Amino acid sequence: MSVKPQALVITAPGINCDAELAAAFDAAGAQPESILMGALEREPSRIDDFQLIGLPGGFSFGDDVAAGRIMAVLMRERIYPALASAIERGVPMICPCNGFQIAVQAGLLPGPERGVWPHEPATPSVALCQNRAARFHDAWTRVTIPSDTRCVWTRGLQLDHETGLLPSAHGEGRFITDPSTLTALQTNGQVAVRYAEGENFNGSMDAIAGICDPSGLVFGLMPHPERFTRWTQHPWWTRLDPSQRTGEPLGLRMFRQAVRIAAEPAHRRSHVTSA
């Protein structure tokens, strides 16, 4: 019998999507465990025990100053090295919503160009700022997956017009970066998911909803794939024909892909991620 990969869910004051993130890992075949940020700060080596990491959504530290800012400052100070080394050993990491906002400020995304993580967290080069309407917005949107993405969570997923959706709920999700970083992300296969045509409600550059690091392991996105693991979560599931509800919902498929990679022996994993 194979052993389930262990998934670390990092929580902190104001993080509030940890339960559904843990449930998604569980549904996808991993064994989730939630640990408070404070405990990890005291003992960062606990991160070494895990084969998957999730940085959930919410309002860490009230999103005071800016979304994810204070949590990112704390992460840079104490646990960045342990996270970087986890990624180096091939651990897939997902950072939805507040997790994404934290990850881009903590030096985890877009990640090092050559795949070698620096000792000090990098200065942020992308930002998630206030939505175009300067207002919190909750909606399901159609998304697209770039065919050239390196992201192990989204690579190769086929989307259907009626079911290729994800829910978003945020006030600060507008993806902004400088032109050269944008070009690098595009050409390097680091765009992991986009809002479909006409669905870019927050005004993100190039309709980018999520990106990954060059290894494809670290995935940050504003939508919440962990909230689409059952068909009854789909916003118009009562309209869907039963034939459209076969197979697994998009969010769960993302978790499945990553859990499968995490369950593989390390030597095969490094092969997969360098593709």
Partner 1 sequence: MSVVHRIEVRTKDGLPDARGEALLRRATVEPGLPQPSSVRSAQVYLIEGALSDSDLQGIADRLLADPVTQVATIGLRASQGFVVEVLPLPGVADPAAESVELAIERLVNGRVRVLTGDRWDLGGVNRAEADEIGRRLLANPVVQSMRSEPWMPDRFPEARAHDAQTRDVPIRELTDAQLERLSREAHLFLNLDEMRAIQSEWRRRGREPREIELETIAQTWSEHCVHKTLKSRVRYTEAGLAAGSPSLIRHASAYAGHSIDGSALVIDNLLKRTVAAATHHLMEPGRPNSIDWCLSVFVDNAGVIAFDDTHAVCVKVETHNHPSAIEPYGGAATGAGGCIRDVMGTGLAAKPIAATDVFCVAPRDMKEPKGCLPPGRILRQVVQGVRDYGNRMGIPTLNGAVWFDPRYVGNPLVYCGVVGLMPRDLIRGQVHEGDTIVVLGGRTGRDGIHGATFSSAELTDSHADEFSHAVQIGNAITQKRTLDALLVARDVQGGPLFHAVTDCGAGGFSSAVGEMGRSVGATVHLDRAPLKYAGLTPVEVWISEAQERMVLAVPQKNLSALRAITDAHGVEMCELGTFGTPERDLILLWKGQEMGRLSTHFLEDAIPMPEREAVWDPAWAATQAPATPETPAPDGLLSTLRALLAHPNIASKAWIIRQYDHEVQGTSVVKPLVGRHGAPGDAAVIQPVVGSNRGIAIGNGLATGLASDPYWMGLAAIDECVRNLVCVGADPTRIAILDNFCWPSCRDPRNMGSLVRAAEACLDGALAYGTPFISGKDSLNNQFTTEDGRTIQIPPTLLISGVGIVPNVDRCVTMDAKRAGNVLLLVGRTHGRMGGSHRLMIGALDGCDTTLPQVDLKEGPIVARAVAACIREGLVCSAHDCSEGGVLVAAAEMAFGGDLGVKIDLQAMPCAGLVSPHARAFTEDPSRYLLEVADSNLTRVRSMLGSLPNAVLGRFDDSGQVSVAAESMSIRELRDAWASGGEGW
Angle, CA of 160, 161 and 162, to the nearest 5°: 95
**Of 19 and 157, which CB lies nearer to partner 1 in the complex structure?**
19
Does residue 209 contact residue 222 with C-beta atoms inside 8 Å? yes
Query: Among this protein's residues, is 224 annotated catalytic?
Result: yes
103: number of CA atoms within 13 Å, CB side? 32
> Among 83, 84, 129, 262, which residue sits at the site for partner 1 (rule: CB under 8 A)?
129
Does residue 121 contact residue 106 with C-beta atoms inside 8 Å? yes
Residue 37 C-beta: closest distance to partner 1, Å: 10
Q: Is residue 39 involved in binding partner 1 (CB under 8 A)? A: yes
Which of the residues 17, 95, 97, 129 is marked catalytic?
97
Contact range with partner 1 by CB under 8 A, out of 87-95, 183-191, 235-243, 258-266: 235-243
Query: Among this protein's residues, is 95 annotated catalytic?
Result: no
Size of residue set near partner 1 by CB under 8 A: 61
Positive or negative torsion for Cα 150, 208, 95, 158: negative
- Bridge partners of 36, per DSSP, are 11
Rounded Cα gap, residues 82 and 100, in angstroms: 18
Residue type, 135: R
Does residue 210 contact residue 222 with C-beta atoms inside 8 Å? yes
Q: Is residue 116 involved in binding partner 1 (CB under 8 A)? A: no
Instruction: Say whether 191 sits in a helix, a strand or coil.
Output: strand
In 3D space, the residue among 113, 132, 111 whose CA is nearest the CA of residue 122 turns out to be 111
Q: Is residue 62 involved in binding partner 1 (CB under 8 A)? A: yes
Q: Is residue 230 involved in binding partner 1 (CB under 8 A)? A: yes
Q: Is residue 204 involved in binding partner 1 (CB under 8 A)? A: no
Does residue 7 contact residue 30 with C-beta atoms inside 8 Å? yes
Query: Among this protein's residues, is 226 annotated catalytic?
Result: yes
**Of 11 and 154, which CB lies nearer to partner 1 in the complex structure?**
11
> Among 25, 61, 100, 219, which residue sits at the site for partner 1 (rule: CB under 8 A)?
61
> Among 48, 64, 148, 160, which residue sits at the site for partner 1 (rule: CB under 8 A)?
64
Instruction: Say whether 163 sits in a helix, a strand or coil.
Output: coil
**Of 254 and 261, which CB lies nearer to partner 1 in the complex structure?**
254
Binding site for partner 1 (CB under 8 A): 11, 13-14, 16-17, 19-20, 23-24, 36, 38-39, 57-59, 61-66, 69-70, 73-74, 77, 105, 123-127, 129-139, 167, 169, 174, 176-178, 203, 224, 226-227, 229-230, 232-233, 235-236, 238-239
Query: What amino acid positions are annotated as catalytic residues?
Result: 97, 224, 226
